A = this chain, B = another copy of it.
Amino acid sequence: TVNGDRLWQSLKDLAEVGAYEDERTGLRGVNRLALTDADAAGRRLVISWMEQAGLSVRIDRMGNIYGRREGTDPAARPVLTGSHIDSVATAGAFDGCLGVLGGIEVVRTLNERGITTRRPLEVAVFTEEEGVRFGTDMLGSAVAARRLSAAYAHALTDRDGATLGDELARTGFAGPVDERLDAPHAYVECHIEQGPVLARAGVEVGVVTGVQGISWQEITFHGRAAHAGTTPTELRADAGLAAAQLIVRLRAMVDSGSYGELRATVGHLIVHPDLTNIVPARAELTVDLRNPDDAAMARAEEDLAAFLRTLETGQPGLSIATRRMARTAPVPFDEGVQKVIARAADDHGLAHLSLLSGAGHDAQEIAALCPTAMIFVRGEYDGISHNPREYSTPETCAHGVDVLATALLRLADE
């Protein structure tokens, strides 16, 4: 078993980097968007911990960080673990960080016990997993796994027009190493569940069977600025109204039950010129769809597009543009690695259950390179996440990393 206190202290220390206090609730949260100064400070802290744990650190051209512990067989492909430390703007301390700091804690424990492995062990920190700064999630791992190109990623811009390439250079994380990762032997990622399944079942550990599909689009409505007091309703091309109609429609699609277990979220929404007495000339929003069933997802995307066309024809002067931000199919995880994880949990006497991930994870990208699966730990408060209230107890975190350690050891001696 790992040192749960040390793990917890690391989680707390990293959560200080980019910490903020929520005015309304008084809760302390984390705001560490990818490649901001806060993220860079977090990366430096993690690298210092890697180096203290004797890992040799390399950084690739996507800013992905790998810390390596050699094995006894220098020719053997490494076993990889890790996750990300970038966060959304209203995050807790666990999302991503538990996987990275858990990996480092496993190495610290092995060092203390003098345990060597046949295969090398590597701990990865992937860039822009959240996707909320540059618009595509699991970006660093998707490039490492060759699903997306570094050129595509480097050209992505944030809302202020800064490119990811520039921000890598500015923060000093444009590394020299080729971003295409050589296939590891296996990949295991430990992560907070971020959902209610384990909490409701009263179980601490989950074996993740895969990740559902994700569809992200940005939709821009172009209408016509007009005076709120004088413009007859029938002469309006109200971009904000059209945006609202789409949001209401998406919920109706979810509630209809016709698209399987569809989830739909409009998290980003702005109008322009954004003033009380002006009919919005423009509205921009993002649509985040999730579905475990890819055919149902495709139908939802088609029906959404058809609805946008009816909005366009229904309001003269309104035009709608759609931009694809990210799209992944459901990814099933490797059954062998799932079994290794389940067995590790059994070894620690921990009850576990198998579940699908509602969130996207770096593991779903690395799964294209090697056998992959994930360990979930239970979150409190119905597993709320992307919220400062996100929480898992010290004991649960330690139990999840115990399972990670045992699974990694087993895979590293295969």
A residues lining the B interface (CB < 8 Å): 24, 88-90, 130-132, 135, 137, 193-196, 212, 214, 216, 222, 224-233, 235, 238, 240-241, 243-245, 247-248, 251, 254-255, 263, 265-271, 273-281, 283, 286, 288, 290, 325, 357-360, 382-388
> Which residues on B sit within 8 Å (CB–CB) of A130?
277
Query: What are 10 inter-chain pairs, A to B, with CB distance below 8 A?
Result: A90-B273, A193-B230, A216-B276, A225-B387, A226-B386, A228-B265, A230-B358, A231-B358, A277-B359, A278-B386
Q: Nearest 9 pairs between A and B by C-beta?
A: A195-B230, A230-B358, A244-B247, A228-B265, A244-B244, A229-B359, A225-B387, A132-B275, A227-B385
Q: Which of B24, B267, B276, B325 contacts A267 (CB 8 A)?
A: B276
**Structural contact, A384 and B274, CB atoms closer than 8 A:** no
**Structural contact, B269 and A274, CB atoms closer than 8 A:** yes
**Structural contact, B222 and A24, CB atoms closer than 8 A:** yes
CB distance from A236 to the nearest CB of B (A): 8
CB distance from A396 to the nearest CB of B (A): 17
CB closest chain-B residue, reference A95: B227
> Which residues on B sit within 8 Å (CB–CB) of A265?
228, 238, 276-279
Q: Which of B226, B231, B276, B388 contacts A135 (CB 8 A)?
A: B276
Q: Which of B224, B266, B388 contacts A240 (CB 8 A)?
A: B266
CB distance from A272 to the nearest CB of B (A): 8
> Which residues on B sit within 8 Å (CB–CB) of A276?
131-132, 135, 137, 216, 265, 267-268, 286, 288, 325
Most chain B CB neighbours (cut-off 10 Å) among A276, A385, A386 = A276
CB distance from A30 to the nearest CB of B (A): 12
> Which residues on B sit within 8 Å (CB–CB) of A325?
276
**Structural contact, A360 and B229, CB atoms closer than 8 A:** yes
CB closest chain-B residue, reference A195: B230
Q: Which of B222, B245, B248, B382 contacts A241 (CB 8 A)?
A: B248
CB closest chain-B residue, reference A390: B227
CB distance from A93 to the nearest CB of B (A): 15
A243 CA to B222 CA in the complex, in Å? 20
> Which residues on B sit within 8 Å (CB–CB) of A357?
229-230
**Structural contact, A288 and B277, CB atoms closer than 8 A:** yes
CB distance from A214 to the nearest CB of B (A): 7
A39 CA to B301 CA in the complex, in Å? 46
Given known contacts A227-B386, A385-B226, is B244 in contact with A88 (CB within 8 Å)?
A: no
CB distance from A379 to the nearest CB of B (A): 9
> Which residues on B sit within 8 Å (CB–CB) of A227?
194-195, 358-359, 384-387
**Structural contact, B274 and A267, CB atoms closer than 8 A:** yes
> Which residues on B sit within 8 Å (CB–CB) of A235?
196, 382
Q: Which of B196, B267, B383 contacts A228 (CB 8 A)?
A: B267
> Which residues on B sit within 8 Å (CB–CB) of A228?
263, 265, 267, 288, 290, 386
